[in-house]
Amino acid sequence: MPDDVVLETLDLCKTYGRKAAVQELSLLVRRGEIYGFLGLNGAGKTTTIRMILGLTRPTSGGVTILGRRHGARDGTVRRRIGALTEAGFYGNLTVRENLEIVRRLTGVPQKERTDETLALVGMASESGKVARALSTGMRQRLRLARALIHEPELLVLDEPANGLDPTGIREVRMLIRSLAEEKGVTVFMSSHILAEVQQVATRIGILHHGQLLEEIDREELQLRSRSYLEVEVSDTARSASLLEQQLGIHGFDVADGNLLRIFQDLDRAAEVNASLVRAGVSVSRLVVRHESLEDHFIKLTGGEASGQNVAG
C-alpha cells in the first residue's frame, strides 16, 4: 500500500442472508483528503463505515488502515482513528465529565485537552450541562468532540451535520476543512446533504445498492457544478473542429447523443449557433444548463432528492 494511502477497502462485501448490503467495494483514501461518501437510504454507507471501524466483520474482502490489514481491530491503529457514531452518553454526567472519560480511555495525558476540544467544537459554554439536557445539535457536537480529543490521523464521520442548525453545519464544515488543510487529518465522511459535501469534499464516492458507481475528484466536481452551453448537433466531430479552429473555444466536451457541452464563453451562444449553421451543421437544440452534484446524483442512481438532501 502506498505511503500516502490512509484507508483502503479491497473487494469489501457484506451480506445478510441473501441480501448483499455491500458488494465488492474497493476504494482508496489518501492522506489529507476529505472523502465524501454519498448514497441513498439503504445504499450501504453505514454498513461500510461499521466495517471500516471494525464494528462489523466483512463477509469477504478487507480493510487496510494506516498500513494495517483490519486496522480498526489493531489497538495501536485504533488509537489513531477518530469516529463520530451514534453511541450514547452518560446522561447524568456533565459534558466535560463525559469527555474526560473519553480522554482517559484514549490515553491522552494532557488534562487541558478536554477544554481545548470543547472549545474546538463550540461547546465551551456547555461544559457544565448534564448530557441528557443537551439538544440534538449539541449532542452531535459532543460526539464530534469525542472523535477529536485524541487528535486522530483518520477521522471517520457518519452524517456529521445530523441535527445541526445552519450555523452549526457551517462551523462543522469549517472545522473539517481546517483539520485537513492545517493538521493533515484524513477525513472519510458520509452525508446526505449534497450541497455540504460539494463544498467540503476533495473527492466523492457515490454508492448505490452496495456498489461504488463513481468517484469524482475536486476538479471534476467544479466542472459538474459549472454552467455550460448544451448544443445538440448533427455532426459532433465537425462541430468540435469548428469550435477549436474558427472560434478558439477549447473548453468543451462531447457527450452521448450528439451533444456538445461548452464550458466557456457562454455569452457567445448566438455566434456558436450561427457558425455551426453556416458550416452546414444542423443545430437541433442550444440551451444553457447548470448541473449540480444533486442533479448528477439523481441521474446516476435514479433516486429522488428533495432540496439539498438525499436520504442517508
- CATH level 3 topology of 227-290: Alpha-Beta Plaits (3.30.70)
Per-residue model confidence as pLDDT tens for the chain (312 residues):
667 899 999 999 999 999 999 999 999 999 999 999 988 878 899 999 999 999 999 999 999 999 888 777 777 888 899 999 877 889 999 999 999 999 999 999 999 999 999 999 999 999 999 999 999 999 999 999 999 999 999 999 998 888 888 888 888 899 999 999 998 999 999 987 777 788 899 999 999 999 999 898 877 777 667 788 999 999 999 999 999 999 999 988 888 778 998 988 989 999 999 999 999 999 999 998 877 677 777 777 775 543 344 433
Is residue 259 within 8 A of residue 231, CB to CB? The reply is: yes
Closest CA to 35 of 248, 221, 197: 197
Burial 32-59, CB ≥16 within 10 A → b, else e: bbbbbbbbbeebbbbbbbbbbbbebebe
Q: Decide yes or no: CATH 2.60.120.10 for domain 5-80+152-221.
A: no
The CB-side HSE value for 301 (13 A sphere, CA atoms) comes to 27
- Coil vs helix vs strand at 281: coil
Alpha carbons 204 and 214: distance in angstroms, whole number: 8
List, in order, residues 6 or more apart from 161 with CB less than 8 Å away: 140, 168, 169, 172, 173, 191, 193, 196
Give the pTM.
0.78
Give the pLDDT score at 224: 67
- Cα 64–Cα 185–Cα 43 angle in degrees, nearest 5: 55
Alpha carbons 270 and 54: distance in angstroms, whole number: 58
Give the pLDDT score at 306: 38
Give the pLDDT score at 304: 52
Alpha carbons 115 and 74: distance in angstroms, whole number: 28
- Coil vs helix vs strand at 142: helix
Is residue 77 within 8 A of residue 71, CB to CB? The reply is: yes
Alpha carbons 290 and 308: distance in angstroms, whole number: 15
Q: Residue 233 CB: number of other CB atoms within 10 A?
A: 22
Domain extent listing, the chain: 5-80+152-221, 227-290
Reading the block at residue 177, the C-alpha cell is 476543512
Alpha carbons 69 and 52: distance in angstroms, whole number: 11
- Cα 134–Cα 108–Cα 50 angle in degrees, nearest 5: 65
